[in-house]
Amino acid sequence: MSSHTISRSASIVLITAVLTLLVGAWIGSARISPPGASAQVPPATPQEEAAINRADDLSLAFQRATKIIAPSVVNITAMERDNDAGSDDPDGSDESSDDRSFPDQVNQGSGVIVREDGYIVTNSHVVADAYQIRVTLDNGRQYEAEIIDADAETDLAVIKIDERGLTAARFADSDAIEVGQWVLAVGNPFGLDHTVTAGIVSAKGRPSMGLADFGNFIQTDAAINPGNSGGPLVNLRGEIIGINNAISTRGGGNLGIGFAIPSNMANSVVQSILKTGHVVRGWLGVTFHPLTADLAKSFRYGGESGMLVSSVVVDGPAEAAGLHRGDIVSTLNGKAVGNSDQFRNLVARSVPGTTVDLSVFRLGKHRRVALTLGERPPAEEITGPRFAGPVSQRYRGFRPVSSRFIPHLLAEEITPDLAEALQLPQESGPFVAFINPSSPVAVIGLRDGDVILEFGGARIDNLDDLTEALRNYEPGTRVRVYRDGRTQVVSSD
């Protein structure tokens, strides 16, 4: 055997030995660390551990709130007649329609127990038209329920089941909630029982948006879906801060914008129904106009909030207390008035007969007005003729020969009956029936019932003269009027 052959054989042996060692090492390592195994996780740093603990604490808070509210939340199934179902024949003459059977409409919603003897609050739109209501408790027991009262103006209803010893939820003060605080929405979305979603209060004081006559809704990004209606929105103590009411959606699902009726309003409605069987609300007898920056400036009002009185109901509480069109109401019982929905809710939650303290700005001066609330009439009556008259009863019953709406006010020609009632002098101008509170001339100090004699030095004999004078109106214009049996001058200066 040649040295070359020996050398080559030795090389082959050496290479084989090395490969054997490498393969053995690979097999050994594979046995210890299988392919795909993750590396060892390093221990958390003190900062990381603290963050994890804080997250766990929040989870525990969610869990505790859920355990508190869960026994009070119910599933509601409401059966309604399908009133739209029927004959394809528009005049109902299709004889075959009698043989058809149409399925009833099923409303799925939620509710929350508010008294241990079976009283439950939910949304009016869930149960108002139902002929049968079935309630399922957290423990699976089912009951038939009856409607105690359904209030369409707030979209709230109280129903009752025949049971005692139930777990009633607690109401929290919704006026005290803050934007950004954690909340949980509990209910039965899409029929999925006892579902809890978390989010924050996204906004508060949202207007009615056509959802109900009374607004001031809480907005949240906690997932609210069909079936959540009537269920509670709770804080981390498991207390009700709202009753879930509506969502903003394009396809029927949650988009992160849900609305809840504030708990203070809901509790007021519930207590009124429990006490009287129906909703009783306080009432001022006025309508309001939002106070914009331009309006505030035109009235020389320096406040940051308030509502402008745009009309006063004949024989209503506000008229009796001396409120006028053009007044700016800035506080109610010391609480600032932020918007019309908030103000209406504060009044509605008050008991009729209660005397409230109003801060009113009128003609450059602040004054206090004590007003005894009346009971709010039914919604259908508020738009009736009784509420369309002028401010003072003194002028009711008189009808103008002609009238003309001028952008700043409603003025009427003097009729013989009106002249006699006002004891007018022979020379007299148009009678002011209504001052538009949104108009700059409202700051002059004109009142309903004034008779305008001169405007900016120009004599006013009729509506044409007044129309021309108003075209040339400037702040500081002086107006001579006949008021309360004498002539006087009013001005914005």
3-state secondary structure 246-309: EECCCCCCCCCCEEEEEHHHHHHHHHHHHHHCCCCCEECCEEEEECCHHHHHHCCCCCCCCEEE
- Name the active-site residue from 151, 155, 327, 450: 155
| CA pair distance 66, 311, nearest whole angstrom | 47
- Judged by phi (left if over 0) then psi (alpha if -120 to 50, else beta), residue 9 lies in alpha
Is 162 catalytic? The answer is no
Of residues 167, 69, 160, 165, the one with CA closest to residue 120: 160
For residue 349 the two structure tokens come to: 């939650």
Please tell me which residue in 72, 110, 125, 350 is annotated as part of the active site: 125
CB 47 within 8 A of CB 53: no
298 a catalytic residue? no
Give strand pairing partners of 370. Answer: 357
Chain CA centroid to CA 16, Å: 84
Angle at 397 between CA 395 and CA 398, to 5 degrees: 70
Residue 452: phi and psi, rounded to 5, are -85, 120
Round to whole Å and give the CA distance between 106 and 253.
Answer: 18
- Residue pair 197/184 in contact (Cβ under 8 Å)? The answer is yes
| φ and ψ of 5, to 5 deg | -65, -40
484 catalytic? Reply is no
Query: What is the DSSP annotation of 329-369?
Result: EEEETTEE---HHHHHHHHHTSPTT-EEEEEEEETTEEEEE
How far apart are alpha carbons 264 and 269 in whole angstroms?
A: 9
d(CA 376, CA 154): 14
Annotated active-site residue in 72, 202, 229, 310: 229
Task: Please report the DSSP string for 95-121 in residue order.
Answer: GGGGG---PPEEEEEEEEEEETTTEEE
Helix-, strand-, coil-residue percentages of the chain, each rounded to 5: 30, 30, 40
Catalytic residues: 125, 155, 229
